[in-house]
Amino acid sequence: MDQRLFAAAVAAMERAYAPYSKFQVGAAILAANGKIYSGCNIENAAYPVGHCAEAGAIAAMVLDGIQEIREIAVIGRGDLLTTPCGGCRQRIREFAGPETKIHVCGTEGLRRTFTRDELLPASFGPENLA
């Protein structure tokens, strides 16, 4: 994993707005253009309208005109893996290839790497609509 990606995910996690759960999450994408885009979770008192870190990073990438994820790192604190939620797995699916690496990190560094297809097997994607 590119250390710039890990550093960007850590920095994003530190800026997360999580006053309710106290569970900060950061994400960073290495996109096809070589740039890194990051995002953090943003909670809201009306719980369903919060945003995930991965969604924020993807939105930043798309806003910059890029639609291909090369790698993504997701980080959270705690002993368990902070993997993307179901909705974010589908968001990643939209912009990542089957072998795209999803790095799951803790504050100490990389904990585990999955491919997109390991994290979301037999998924529904754009080709299903062709």
Mark out the alpha helices in 3-45 (DSSP H runs): 3-14
Q: How far apart are the first and last CA of the chain?
A: 34
Of 14, 43, 54, 68, which one is the catalytic site residue? 54
Confirm whether 54 is a catalytic residue.
yes
DSSP 2: -
Element (H, E) at 53: helix 53-63
Q: What angle do CA 41, 47, 53 make, to 5 degrees?
A: 15
Catalytic residue list: 54
